[in-house]
């Protein structure tokens, strides 16, 4: 199963906040022998979120969605997920209880008495309204749950909440995927070479070794290093090792200057 990431919020697209989810999710997956297949950034546009989720629900991937599950006017993810599946929103009983327990706890800590029927506290219950049939994702930070629909997992935009929730999903529901496919990566820095001159070698490697990918990362250089290309192979360990040996031999035949990374 491929793994995808959706990051939602106008503040990310406007530059008001710098996204932290992408690098962290990559790290969480890598620690479990997994990798991200795709990622998308969306603003707070209900129609676009709904259309995106309708497409990803149909695809069957594991998808993590960060942001937009609160109860303010710019939070549209809960409704969009329901619309994408053609289901009504429903107040989740356990989710409701979690929120009310949180309200009571906050009041006790402040030496106050909470009115669960106040307009403010009733509005907070919207955070427990999910598409019918949703399961809860526990939130260890404040106990206000996220939700799951199939293999789509919806968590808040706050990293302190989202990241442990994503870890919980991976460890609870997808541990069978961990480290399933061993991978290896080998690379060299090729100096003062044009990518076009190396492309035939790259194509030949991928044709000969179908379980690897070739990557090429050019750099114009700086005060510390010359212009170069990081050229390498990654994939199934045995094929990666053989492909890397063939890569170095190919560079030798081109009289290219290179050194291992």
216 and 171 housed in the same domain: no
End residue of a domain, out of 177, 206, 225: 177
35 and 67 housed in the same domain: yes
End residue of a domain, out of 177, 205, 221: 177
28 and 82 housed in the same domain: yes
State the Cα–Cα distance between residues 160 and 157, nearest whole angstrom: 9
Show the tokens assigned to 108. 């006790």
**Do 65 and 77 meet the contact criterion of CB atoms below 8 Å apart?**
yes
35 and 160 housed in the same domain: yes
232 and 157 housed in the same domain: no
End residue of a domain, out of 177, 211, 227: 177
14 and 72 housed in the same domain: yes
Buried b (16+ CB within 10 A) or exposed e, 39-51: beebbbeeeebbe
**Gyration radius of the chain's alpha carbons:** 24
Instruction: Say if residue 29 is exposed, middle or buried (CB neighbours under 10 Å; 0-12, 13-18, 19+).
Output: buried
Nearest to 179 by CA among 47, 8, 30, 7: 30
Nearest to 21 by CA among 5, 3, 45, 1: 5
Provide the residue range defining the domain that includes 211.
184-260
199 and 112 housed in the same domain: no
The ranges of the chain with pLDDT < 50 are none
Hey, is 218 helix, strand or coil? strand
Which tens digit of pLDDT belongs to each residue from 230-239?
A: 999 999 999 9
Q: Kindly report the CATH number assigned to the domain that includes residue 15.
A: 3.40.980.10
State the Cα–Cα distance between residues 31 and 22, nearest whole angstrom: 14
132 and 243 housed in the same domain: no
125 and 225 housed in the same domain: no
State the Cα–Cα distance between residues 249 and 105, nearest whole angstrom: 67
The pTM of this model reads 0.88
Q: Kindly report the CATH number assigned to the domain that includes residue 239.
A: 3.30.70.1130
Nearest to 159 by CA among 30, 39, 6, 19: 19
151 and 253 housed in the same domain: no
55 and 143 housed in the same domain: yes
Domain count of the fold of the chain? 2
Nearest to 95 by CA among 131, 129, 122: 129
Nearest to 136 by CA among 90, 176, 103: 90
Nearest to 257 by CA among 191, 178, 159: 191
**Do 206 and 213 meet the contact criterion of CB atoms below 8 Å apart?**
yes
226 and 113 housed in the same domain: no
């Amino acid at each position: 199963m491929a793994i995808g990431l959706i990051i939602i919020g106008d503040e990310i697209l406007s530059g008001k906040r710098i996204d932290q989810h992408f690098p962290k999710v990559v790290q969480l997956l890598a620690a479990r022998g997994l990798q991200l297949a795709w990622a998308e950034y969306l603003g707070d546009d209900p129609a676009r979120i709904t259309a995106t989720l309708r497409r990803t629900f149909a695809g069957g991937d594991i998808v993590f969605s960060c942001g937009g599950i609160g109860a303010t006017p710019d939070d549209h993810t809960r409704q969009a997920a329901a619309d994408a599946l053609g289901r009504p929103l429903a107040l989740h009983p356990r989710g409701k209880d979690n929120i009310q327990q949180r309200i009571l706890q906050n009041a006790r800590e402040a030496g106050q008495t909470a009115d669960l029927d106040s307009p403010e506290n009733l509005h907070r219950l919207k955070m427990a309204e999910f598409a019918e049939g949703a399961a809860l994702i526990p939130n260890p930070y404040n106990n206000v749950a996220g939700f799951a629909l199939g293999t789509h997992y919806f968590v808040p935009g706050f990293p302190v909440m989202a990241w442990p929730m994503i870890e919980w999903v991976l460890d609870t529901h997808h541990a069978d995927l961990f480290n399933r496919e061993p991978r290896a990566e080998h690379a060299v820095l090729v100096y003062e070479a044009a990518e076009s001159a190396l492309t035939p070698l790259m194509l030949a490697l991928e044709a000969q070794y179908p379980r690897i990918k070739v990557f090429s990362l050019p750099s114009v250089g700086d005060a510390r290093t010359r212009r170069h290309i990081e050229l390498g192979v990654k994939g199934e360990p045995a094929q990666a090792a053989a492909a890397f040996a063939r890569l170095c031999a190919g560079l030798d035949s081109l009289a290219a200057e290179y050194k291992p990374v």
